[in-house]
Structure 1
Amino acid sequence: MPGPMTKSVDSPALTEKEIIEWLRAHPRFLQDNPAVCDLLLPPTEKKGKGIADFQAYMIQRLKEDKEDVIESARELVENSRHNMHNQSRIQRAVVLLLEAHNFEDFVRTITLDFAALLDVDIVSLIVETEGEVIPHIDLAGVRLVSPGTVDLLLGGHPVALEGATVGLDQLYGGGSTLVKSQALLRLNIGAGSPPAMLAFGSRDANLFYPGQGTEMVSFLGHVVERCFRLWLTLPR
């Protein structure tokens, strides 16, 4: 309610003629504000070219909305299939880890079998060392790095995903020239064990990229950690 020092002023309603004239002066209004069409009721019969064109515009709008819905549904189905496929790969990798007959077989499963199973080009087990002897270090795919390398590459994170990158010799050896994207996964093997990580390298520059989901690869990393502790009889 207006106070004693104010006066209520009602804006005069626009007439039909004024609205039409304004729209004529701003022909791109509906194109720039398509949501306004949702507020309008289409004519029930054709009464002129302009009305017919407006109906055609609304029909085209509905077609585009339908195409957007179909495309969104298609992407959802494709993503679901892709996620299920990746989940199946991770499950098979876990089964192979559990079927290892000895520690050497376990390590070879990681450094040799994982690449084919997970559809990457190379997998390395990276272990930090200050020069001390580490058992089974002569196995293919096991690579020694200097102290601090794991934290340097992971930046304090458990997982690092990099697309359009260059593979490092210290991680992949002679296979580094193949690597165009990579996933680095920290391994917390147990008390007293040196820092370690897994490196998955791919020649596909878009296979790994920042912001990608890491739930499945993190799960695989946890399984690897626990298997290490069992084989080496290490505490958590």
Structure 2
Amino acid sequence: MTDILEEPGPAPSAMDRAMLRQMLIENPDWVRGDAELLSHIAGAPNGVADLGRVVRDRLLGEVRQLKQRERAFAHAARENLALMARAQSFVLSLIECADLNELDYKLAWEAPTALGVDSVRLYLEGATPMIVSEAIHACAVGLTDELLGDENDFTGQCSDRTGRTLYGKEVGSHALCRISVGDQVGLLALAAREADMFHSGQGTEILNFVARAVEKRLGQWMTTD
């Protein structure tokens, strides 16, 4: 008969390990009474079990993880506050726009920096009130519903086809928000190169804040028959 203490066989199956675990839970003295076995389980040097050190190291590891999470939360909070401040400043600057040309310029060149994205576009279904524009464009009727469905906004990855259609290039992720000016509907679109910049379930308070401000300014220059 093989001496399993000298010539261990293959590793036990998952069922055998489960049975062994249950037996040890029900009979902890089997381990406590075997100093050599206890030292191997604890991973102590020189065959001396130091369970206090094991517990201490585990607690220190948990404390480090908590501190890392705390620093991450604090960093995210500072970034959100900074973003909100830039967004508010940008919205206030919209008051200075004298016409659609200035609004178009701000959306194309100032909004990306203020909102921390790569591209900002504003699409209006049907004819656009501008002949030449950089950020404000016309789009096909129904595009807003096609991209948003019944939702007011969307955050997540952007398909290559949608990226080329909305931004003229492929992007990693984007955020969309429905706008309505009189009888005309459309959407405000923000794009980022990073695939994780915008993701499902992300808060859209700042996006909607900017969209409503842009919507308000558009209403002052656009008329519907």
> Normalization by structure 2: what TM-score?
0.73
Partner residue, 2:180:
188
Distance in 1 between residues matched to 2:206 and 2:32, nearest whole Å = 55
Could you tell me which runs of 5 or more consecutive residues in structure 2 were left unpaired when the two chains were aligned: 1-26
* Counterparts in 2 of 1:228 and 1:55: CA distance versus 1, 3 Å: same
- 2:155 is the counterpart of 1:161: yes
Which residue of the other structure, out of 122, 144, 151, is the alignment partner of 1:150?
144
Q: Sequence identity of aligned pairs in percent?
A: 26
CA drift of 1:233 comes to 6.4
Structure 2 residue 79 is the aligned partner of structure 1 residue 85: no
2:123 to 103, 123, 126: 126
Alignment-mate amino acid for residue 186 of structure 1:
R
Q: Deviations over 1:144-192 (max 9, x none)?
A: 22211110011221111122632433322xx323x221111111222x2
Q: 1:84 to 1:21 in 2, by over 3 A?
A: same
2:53 matched to 1:56?
yes
- How has the CA–CA distance of structure 1 residues 232 and 127 changed in structure 2, closer, same or farther, with 3 Å as cutoff? closer
Query: Which of 181, 188, 201 does residue 198 from structure 1 map onto?
Result: 188
C-alpha root-mean-square deviation of aligned residues, in Å?
2.7
Whether 2:162 is the aligned partner of 1:170: answer: no
Counterpart secondary structure, 1:183: strand
SS of aligned partner of 1:115 = helix
Q: Is the 8 A contact 1:143 1:170 kept in 2?
A: no
State the alpha-carbon separation in 2 of the partners of residues 69 and 91 from structure 1. 33
Compute the displacement of 1:63 (Å). 0.6
- Contact 1:121–1:203 (CA under 8 A) maintained in structure 2: yes
**Does the 8 A contact of 1:103 with 1:231 survive in 2?**
yes
